Structure 1
Amino acid sequence: MAERWNHNIHYHPMILSAVPAGARSALDVGCGEGMLARALRQRVPEVTGVDLDSNSLALAREQGDDVRYVEGDVLTEPLPSFDFIASVATLHHMDATEGLTRFRNLLNPGGTLVVVGVARISSIRDCPPELAGFVAHRVHKARKDFWQHPSPVVWPPPVTYTQMRRLARSLLPGVHYRRHVLWRYSLLWKKPSERTVRADKS
């Protein structure tokens, strides 16, 4: 499984690099077969993976790790709060506002959220990155073993890149939005600590 590659796995190193020092708990939203969850477990003592697809979770549990895998809807499943939350190609499977709000609420003060998602183009400004994506895809696929994951697919994405950027900025003040070449965007947000919130109110 370590040799697999696709457009989502490509961004796992970026996600792992965002794990804050001292994080004690992490949530992988839409964990699928658990590749990212297991990588997170190398850095974080307690990792939970949540997914609706029972077949993918069965494969994840076969790996024999100590990640806690939960079959359920992240929007409604009773979950504790976490120091780090990652969501890869999952947000477009749900209402984006509800999803980002839920992630925000599940995150501990001072914690970090990373979302890698897919969206659709809305204007001619989106075309250059799309074309660059085709070139990058062909280069990577020629050098690596492309893996088509077995989890359910939603296409086309319901939200455009522009809509996602605006939504994220309204729900996650100070979020860092970035458009990536391989048909992905990312959101990086650190939730204000309680000390910061108290200072802002004083």
Structure 2
Amino acid sequence: MPFPWDHNVHYHEYLLRQVPGHCVRALDVGCGTGRFARRLTARCARVEAVDPDPAMIAEARERTPRRLGVQHTNTALADYGIAAGAYDFVSAVASLHHMDFAESVRAMAHGLAPGGVLAVLGLYREETAADHAAGAAALAPQWAIGAGLFAARTLTGVPSPAAEAPVPMREPRMSLRGVRLAARRHLPGARVRRLLFWRYSLVYRRPLAG
């Protein structure tokens, strides 16, 4: 398990498994301090990362070795000008709830090449009994993972990671039901799954034809 850990990092491997084998060019939307974009460089020849917060982009650039070749841009998705069919993989890790859902998923899907994949790790507003039950069920694993990482650091002598700049936070406005309905309307064929740790995934693969 990678150091440092958080609810989003927990799903990085899951997101990386969605990257198509032929990936040449990828875009990470709302990249924050650039953790996932850095990992994408192992799967895609060219990685671009965008974020509207200048502090986040500054830290992402500082933390990303030049040899990885990530292109960081301080801009919002709406202003980036995604060309049709330009990307084999597009990701949004805990950033979609900061944007307009419909406009953003349409723009990201528009940028996919045939066979390309859009992978979203999103946050949702707890609304139903099932939502609250899922949140309660996440507490014990969260504690266990935290305790395990602390023990591992203690046994191996690995120091605590340097603190990163605080990521701007916003409470999600859409419920999981709302996400599913919106995905059905604006991104037919997308698969939405409830995940642990107050997250969901949305995965869409652009058809090879049409």
TM over 0.5, shorter chain = yes
- Report deviation, 1:82: 0.8
CA distance in 2, matches of 1:50, 1:190: 21
1:81-107 Cα deviation digits (max 9, x unpaired): 211001110000011111111111121
Give the aligned partner of residue 182 of structure 2: 167
Match of 1:92 among 70, 94, 97: 97
Residue 85 (structure 2) pairs with residue 70 (structure 1)? no
Q: Report if aligned partners of 1:6, 1:148 keep a CA contact under 8 Å in 2.
A: no
1:121-152 Cα deviation digits (max 9, x unpaired): 22112222111112222112222269776121
- Report deviation, 1:79: 3.3
Q: Report if aligned partners of 1:112, 1:190 keep a CA contact under 8 Å in 2.
A: yes
2:200 is paired with a residue whose SS is strand
Structure 1 length as normaliser, TM-score?
A: 0.89
- Structure 2, unmatched stretches of 5+, are 151-160
- Report deviation, 1:25: 0.4
CA distance in 2, matches of 1:78, 1:171: 19
CA distance in 2, matches of 1:12, 1:131: 22
**Count of paired positions:** 193
Give the share of equivalent positions with the same residue, in percent: 35
Give the aligned partner of residue 127 of structure 2: 122
Please say which of residues 140-149 and 79-88 is displaced more in the overlay: 140-149
Please say which of residues 142-151 and 23-32 is displaced more in the overlay: 142-151
Q: Report if aligned partners of 2:33, 2:164 keep a CA contact under 8 Å in 1.
A: no
- Over aligned residues, Cα RMSD in angstroms? 1.7
Match of 1:177 among 192, 196, 209: 192
- Structure 1, unmatched stretches of 5+, are 198-202
Q: Report if aligned partners of 2:49, 2:73 keep a CA contact under 8 Å in 1.
A: yes
1:186 is paired with a residue whose SS is strand
Give the aligned partner of residue 23 of structure 1: 23
Give the aligned partner of residue 37 of structure 2: 37
User: In the alignment, residue 128 of structure 2 is paired with which amino acid?
Assistant: S
CA distance in 1, matches of 2:112, 2:144: 37
2:77 is paired with a residue whose SS is coil
User: In the alignment, residue 67 of structure 1 is paired with which amino acid?
Assistant: V
1:75 is paired with a residue whose SS is helix
